[in-house]
Every structure is written in structure tokens, then in C-alpha cells.
Amino acid sequence: MRPTVRSRLWAAGTAFVSGFVIANVGILLITGADRWLWLATAVVLMITGAVGVLVADTGRRLSLWAVLGFELFVVATLAPLWWAFAVALTPADTTADSLLPADPRWSVFGDVLGAGVLRDAALTSVAAATAATVVAMLLAVPAAYALTRRRVRGGRVVVVSFVAVLLAPLVALAGPWSVTAADLGVLGSRWSVAPVLLLVALPLAVWLSIPVLRDAPWSLR
């Protein structure tokens, strides 16, 4: 579907006005080096609006709303990551108040990478994820085969239940599992994370295995 001229003009106007507002906020309210980030964002949006006016009456299949949405998506994605990066570079006795720290401490990354805690955490994550994946596949493949090849009463309910489990956030399991792990005496051990990962890996493995086994050729069944 080719965008209309009116739609392109509305998108161009929205981009230009947004850039104009951001530029004024950056000039009037933002101080320091952060002002250049605001101005750069404003320039990109205003250029998008100007180009949108030039191509509004052309036959190109170009959606300016999609371009504007992509630009806003990039800004919304990069801004928190950039802020986390700036906080990491800020010295410990200083409060981060700028996206461009005046005195960045680059040695912090070397200190983190050289710490034994990070290596232990990475090893724990790899070991727990590998164990959960292996166990999940050993259980998921037979379950998916039964749900696709056998007429099981309530099979659809089981599949929906698996999908519902995937929608549950892992943080909701942190409290109950911490209490259970403490009662079992495994809290803080390397393998105490594997059962929580298995609760997500198993439904996901079953859900992904069902279409694979359903569409597999007869020679492989």
C-alpha cells in the first residue's frame, strides 16, 4: 500500500516539529556537553521532516511514519544504554549527572573483567543454562511428540498452559524459590539457579518442538 501525500506531509511535519521542540529544550534547559546530544537528535528529526516534504509527492514506496518510528525507537533504545555506560564511567565518589562524563574512569572495565566474582558468575550462568537446556530437551521432545502424534485429551489446554508459563516473569519466581532453596540448603550454590531456568526452558522447548515434529517428514519420525 503506497502512502498518501497527506500522510507523508503529516509525518514530515511531526518529525520537524518534534526536532524543533527538542532543539529548543536542548538550548534553553540543557547545559554542558549533553546539549550537543539533544541538538544532534533535533537535527536528525528536522532533516527527516525536510526530506519528507521533498519526497511527499513522489511515487516511491516510502513510509515516513516508519522512518520516524525507527528513529524514535533508536533513541529510546540507546538512551538507557548510554546512561548505564555513563554511570559506569563515573568515579565512585561522584554522582552521574551527564551522558558525557567530564572525567571518565576507563579502568573500571578492566577491574570488572579481572575480578573473580565475574568469572564465577559467568561459569555459574553457563553451567546452569546448559544443564537446564539438556534436561528440557530430554523432556520436551517426547512431550511434543505425544502432543502432535497422539490424540491426547486436553492437548490444546496443555499447549496453552505452556505458553502461559512463558508469559510469567522470572522475577516472580525469585522470592518463592529463594525460600525453597534456603529450606533445602542449596541457596547460594551453583546449581540452585537451574530449576528456575528449567521452568522457562521446558515450556519453551515444548512449544518450539511441536511445529518441528508436526512438519517433519515421515522418514524422520
The string of pLDDT tens digits covering residues 182-199 is: 888 777 777 778 888 888
User: Is the domain of 103 the same as that of 197?
Assistant: no
Domain-ending residue, one of 112, 134, 169: 112
pTM above 0.75, yes or no: no
User: Is the domain of 122 the same as that of 70?
Assistant: no
Q: What percent of the chain has pLDDT over 90?
A: 14
Q: How confident is the model at residue 220 (pLDDT cuts 50, 70, 90)?
A: low
Q: Which residue has the cell 513510509?
A: 63
Q: What percent of the chain has pLDDT over 70?
A: 90
User: Is the domain of 107 the same as that of 146?
Assistant: no
User: Is the domain of 63 the same as that of 149?
Assistant: no
pLDDT at 2 over 60: no
User: Is the domain of 79 the same as that of 55?
Assistant: yes
pLDDT confidence of residue 219: 62
Residue 142 CB contacts under 8 Å (≥ 6 apart), including other chains: none
- DSSP state letter for 102: S
pLDDT confidence of residue 54: 85
Produce one character per residue of 94-127: b if its CB has 16 or more CB atoms within 10 Å, e if not: eeeeebebeeeeeeeeeeeeeeeeeeeeeebeee
Cα distance between residue 62 and residue 1, in whole Å? 10
State the amino acid at position 55 in one-letter form.
V
Domain-ending residue, one of 81, 112, 143: 112
> What is the span of the domain harbouring residue 84?
5-112
pLDDT confidence of residue 82: 85
pLDDT confidence of residue 23: 92
Q: Which residue has the cell 509527492?
A: 57
Closest by CA to 213, choosing from 157, 160, 159, is 159
User: Is the domain of 128 the same as that of 190?
Assistant: yes
Q: Where are the alpha helices (DSSP H) in 55-106?
A: 64-89
Looking at 52-56, 100-104, 211-215, which range is the least confident one?
100-104
Q: Which residue has the cell 516539529?
A: 17
Q: Quick one: which H or E segment has residue 138?
A: helix 116-149
User: Is the domain of 101 the same as that of 33?
Assistant: yes
- DSSP state letter for 55: T
Mean pLDDT: which of 64-68, 114-118, 137-141 is highest?
Answer: 137-141
Q: How confident is the model at residue 115 (pLDDT cuts 50, 70, 90)?
A: low
User: Is the domain of 122 the same as that of 216?
Assistant: yes
User: Is the domain of 98 the same as that of 128?
Assistant: no
- Considering its fold, how many domains does the chain have in total? 2
User: Is the domain of 187 the same as that of 124?
Assistant: yes
pLDDT confidence of residue 24: 93
Cα distance between residue 189 and residue 191, in whole Å? 6
User: Is the domain of 64 the same as that of 152?
Assistant: no
Domain-ending residue, one of 112, 129, 146: 112
Instruction: Write the DSSP assignment of 139-197 as a string of letters.
Output: HHHHHHHHHHHS--TTHHHHHHHHHHHHHS-GGGGHHHHHHHHHHHT-TTSGGGGHHHH
Return the half-sphere exposure (C-beta side, CA atoms, 13 A cut-off) of residue 19: 20
Q: 117: helix, coil or strand?
A: helix
Cα distance between residue 165 and residue 204, in whole Å? 9
User: Is the domain of 80 the same as that of 161?
Assistant: no
